[in-house]
Structure 1
Amino acid sequence: MGRPRFWDPAGDRHGGTPTYPWRMAPTGYLTRRQLRARGLRPGGQPVAGQILWRSRFGGTRPAFLYRLALAKPVRPMTPARAAALAKANAARRTCPGCGRDAGYVLPAHLGTCLPCADGTALAA
């Protein structure tokens, strides 16, 4: 049995980025999601490596790695940021056709709520 397909710690085969197979990243390198689970963010550092794996839908998928030592704490949520986020989420739920809050994020491919898309919206 040879070396794993995506084993390239020098980055020779994958565009200069150190590459590792699934679950074989070196200690001290984490994905964005793993950093967030620890209350951290990349903090402007460049990508330090990547994990590649074969997707069951064909092709390969990447997950970028960042150095834990260079990560910064997540910025706290301020009242202004919370208000802006609430306003943005409300806009994603408001139907431009009937103007009501649909209670769910509107499907991007429809652009309206489901009753408006079906033509079954009640005329008010």
Structure 2
Amino acid sequence: MSRPRHWDPAGERHGGTPTYPWRMAPAGYFTRRQLRAKGLRPGGQDVAAQIMWRSRFGGTRPAYLYRLALAKPVRQMTPARAAALAKANRARRTCPACGRDTGYVLPAHLGICLTCADSTGLAA
């Protein structure tokens, strides 16, 4: 019986990082997204392991895993952080040409709102 391609629990082939194939990571290891769904964050710990799989675009892709036992609770949003986030999002929605809050994030390739882009011919 042959081992899966990315089976390297000792990390000998992948720079010292234990590596597992897709869906074969040991219990107690989670990705950042999985930790966040549980209300946790890595909390400064180093990557404990990784899973790797072949990408349909060629090559391989990794997903880094962290130990659940070392994870910490997500920090609560403070009023100051909420205000800063709202200000940053408002800046991403405000057109520099007309000064209007568009209600959507401005396209980076245009740098202005769609109405201004249409009137200047940039959207064509």
Report if TM-score (shorter chain) is over 0.5.
yes
Separation in structure 1 between the aligned mates of residue 106 and residue 59 of structure 2, nearest angstrom: 30
Normalising by structure 2, report the TM-score.
Answer: 0.90
Residue 110 of structure 1, CA deviation: 2.0
CA distance in 1, matches of 2:116, 2:12: 53
Query: Could you tell me how far 1:33 is from its partner in structure 2?
Result: 0.3
Moved more, 44-53 or 97-106: 97-106
Moved over 4 A (4+): none
User: Aligned residues, how many?
Assistant: 121
Question: Can you list the C-alpha shifts for 1:23-60, whole angstroms capped at 9, x where unaligned?
Answer: 11110100000000000000000010111111122221
Relative to the length of structure 1, the TM-score reads: 0.90
- Aligned CA-pair RMSD: 1.5
Q: How does 1:48-67 map to 2 (within 5 A)?
A: 48-67=48-67
What 5-or-longer segments of structure 2 have no aligned partner? none
Residues 76-112 of structure 1 deviation map (CA, whole Å, 9 limit, x = unaligned)? 1111111111111111111112211111111222222
Structure 1 unaligned segments of length 5 or more: list them: none
Partner of 1:116: 116
Name the residue aligned to 1:6: 6
Q: Aligned AA for 1:20?
A: Y
Tell me the CA shift for residue 120 of structure 1. 5.3
Q: Percent identity?
A: 85
